[in-house]
Structure 1
Amino acid sequence: MDTEQQRFSDMKRRVYKIVLPVLVGLLGLSLFLSENEGLLLMINLILLVGMLFAWLLLSTKLSLRVIEWFLLALAGAYLLTMVIQGIYTQMLEYGDSSLGDFIIWMPLIALLMFLLFDRLPALLANLALFVVLLIPSVPAFPHLHSEQVESLILFYTGIAVYTGLAYFLHQLYRRRAEQNAMLRFAYMDALTGIANRHRIDNWLRKKVELGEQTGQLFSVLFFDLDHFKDINDVYGHKTGDDVLRQLAKVVQGELDHGDLFGRWGGEEFIILTDTGEQESFLLAERLRKAVGEHDFGIAGRVTASFGLSVNRPGDTAESVVLRADERMYQSKQAGRNRVTGRTMVSGDD
């Protein structure tokens, strides 16, 4: 859950880094092309400087929540000031029919609420903003002509529509995120964070089908840790679990882009790579040495035994794994800490 929240927070920070400069540029261009002056110009300049300041804060270690609160306070103050100025200056004093162009920012405020808060608090916050923006208009309604009243009604209706749309988008994103999280957990080994057997089975099936259709070669590297039961018996299962987690990181650090790695079960692991026997043998040998040279802490030095097989016509997922499994046990029987392929064998060095 913490990982999901951090991923969402990082995503928001990236979005803000892109969106804020765009908004600053648009607002600056609007001010340059408009004839705003006096209080109206000052209000927009404060908003522009505030957004630029928030963008600079995104590159610091300051909590994203603090930056979001700053943006929310800035946006709320801006809207309230502009509504008051629009009603009592633009409409009542100058006779304008609308509040002004600032209303185009309303959708962003509604979305910001749902980025900052959970679903219900965001809905309540938008409702509170609606009330706060409605209050200044109440005394002015009797003094407004029909076009001005219609403009205000459209403005407040727009707030409600934007809130509903933001609520719907939030729900949609939340459900999609939950589905993605469930899918990841369904295919992920909880202990090591790598693929689990269910996902490996899917990979194998697709690799075998592709091999039958196109002749594409792939290799299966099947390996497990030597004397792992002794580690659990001597140091406890907690240490054993830590060894498995470290092993996963060591192996991941040695794999090339496109290599598929997962936990088959217990201390057994599988790698699928789109290479023939010679290349996959070199990979297995590199992994064997990397594992053997790694310091696993309390458990000390640990070795692994490897078996590898390459797909061939008529193979099934089970048959190609079975050959790799049998060769892995040949490595065990030959003294462990070895790699055994169909024609290539490495020994303990």
Structure 2
Amino acid sequence: MGLRENVKSLDELKRNIYSWILPFIVFTLFLNTILQNSCMTTLSGIVNISLIVWFSISWVLVRAKQSFRFTEISNLILISIYHIIKFSEVLFVGVLVRGQESLGDFIIWMPLYILYIFLTLKRRQGLFLSLMVLLVTFIVGMTLFREITTDVKDSLIQFYAAHFVYTLVLFYIHYLFTIHTELNLVRKQSQIDSLTGIFNRQHMDELLAEKLMQRPKENKPLSVIFLDIDHFKCINDRFGHDMGDWVLKEFTRVISARLTDTEFFGRWGGEEFVIITDSGLAEAGVLAERLRVIIEQHTFQSAGKVTCSFGVSSYQNGDDALSLIKRADEGLYLSKTRGRNQVLIN
């Protein structure tokens, strides 16, 4: 899976999360507005109603898979504004007017807000926005610092410290996640054949070695199938190498669609491929014959009809990777010399 596919998967995951969590947020805001009896008579009520309307629209857009990035950024901007307004309201109204001795319940949501920043933005952008919001709330708090009680000052200092610590922690978590994703992508790419998108020879060697090591414990049968496209050089000579590449890709898709999760398919080199399967010799031979017929009956784009030769071997006592591969390769060679488009079990 490439970087673009990773991004698409992450967006799809976030879309699914938003589709479930937005109705809950709308309900919570609605309940908060009703319980505080604020509606459109206070700034907090106006902000709550505005968020309810916009989050409802956002939910529709998310479900319709429309303007996802715009929705995400818009929500972040509105939540940031809400965060600052709510903080200011707590200080100016809750503390100064009503005499509250703490910042109240709204600070419970602060870690989730910072998490949302780093989920939505790139690492440095998230750091910048989070610190800017911290700076704004710090300026607001400092304007009232002399007028508030010691308990509120303590609560305020803890709020700033927590915001700063959460920002740093999430910044480095984001960094570590990015590094992990990139390393995982590099590892996967090192296992994949760049043309066909299936496993390359190096990874098939590793899989076979792993299967042979596990076999004494699991006592499962193990077979190797070599397959080679017949007269592939003629396809390249007649239609060109680009068409030859298309044949390899189409061949890969046709074969892959007929294999199970326990049948590993890779490109050995050129037009030669290999299948590793947890099957006995007879069962592997049946699989090879079924694939041979499928390829024979398939019409390839522009190249028309193509056939394929197969060599099959199964694990015998004392086998290692080289001996197992050698017998399958010898079977493939005999299949070629005896007329091609056939399966030879060795």
Give the alignment of 1:54-65 within 5 angstroms: 54-65=58-69
Percent identity for Structure 1 against Structure 2: 37
Distance in 1, Cα, partners of 2:214 & 2:112: 47
Counterpart code for 1:221: I
2:96 is the alignment partner of 1:111? no
Report the CA distance between 1:327 and its aligned residue.
0.8
Q: Taking structure 1 as reference, are residues 15 and 198 closer, same or farther at Cα in structure 2, changes over 3 Å only?
A: farther
Give the alignment of 1:1-349 within 5 angstroms: 1-20=3-22, 23=25, 27=28, 31=32, 35-38=35-38, 39=42, 40=44, 43-44=47-48, 46-48=50-52, 50-342=54-346
After TM superposition, the structure 1 stretch with the greater mean CA deviation from structure 2, 47-56 or 125-134, is: 47-56
Q: What's the TM-score once normalised by structure 1's chain length?
A: 0.89
Report the CA distance between 1:209 and its aligned residue.
2.4
After TM superposition, the structure 1 stretch with the greater mean CA deviation from structure 2, 264-273 or 62-71, is: 62-71
TM-superposition CA deviations, 1:311-345 (whole Å, max 9, x none): 11111111111111111111111211111114xxx
Gaps in structure 2 of 5+ consecutive residues: none
Q: What's the TM-score once normalised by structure 2's chain length?
A: 0.90
After TM superposition, the structure 1 stretch with the greater mean CA deviation from structure 2, 175-184 or 4-13, is: 4-13
Asked if the contact 1:221/1:309 (under 8 Å) is kept, the reply is yes
Distance in 2, Cα, partners of 1:146 & 1:214: 68
Distance in 2, Cα, partners of 1:135 & 1:231: 73
Asked if the contact 1:212/1:313 (under 8 Å) is kept, the reply is no
Report the CA distance between 1:70 and its aligned residue.
2.2
After TM superposition, the structure 1 stretch with the greater mean CA deviation from structure 2, 9-18 or 284-293, is: 9-18
**What is the SS of the residue equivalent to 1:154?**
helix
Distance in 1, Cα, partners of 2:93 & 2:68: 36
Distance in 2, Cα, partners of 1:153 & 1:212: 63
Distance in 2, Cα, partners of 1:141 & 1:215: 73
Asked if the contact 1:211/1:311 (under 8 Å) is kept, the reply is no
Counterpart code for 1:173: F
Asked if the contact 1:232/1:240 (under 8 Å) is kept, the reply is yes
Report the CA distance between 1:20 and its aligned residue.
4.1
Asked if the contact 1:103/1:155 (under 8 Å) is kept, the reply is yes
Distance in 2, Cα, partners of 1:199 & 1:211: 18
Gaps in structure 1 of 5+ consecutive residues: 343-349
Report the CA distance between 1:249 and its aligned residue.
0.9
Report the CA distance between 1:198 and its aligned residue.
1.3
Distance in 1, Cα, partners of 2:151 & 2:127: 30
Report the CA distance between 1:288 and its aligned residue.
1.4
**What is the SS of the residue equivalent to 1:137?**
helix
Distance in 2, Cα, partners of 1:143 & 1:229: 87
| Equivalences, count | 340
Report the CA distance between 1:48 and its aligned residue.
5.0
Report the CA distance between 1:37 and its aligned residue.
2.5
Distance in 2, Cα, partners of 1:189 & 1:211: 27
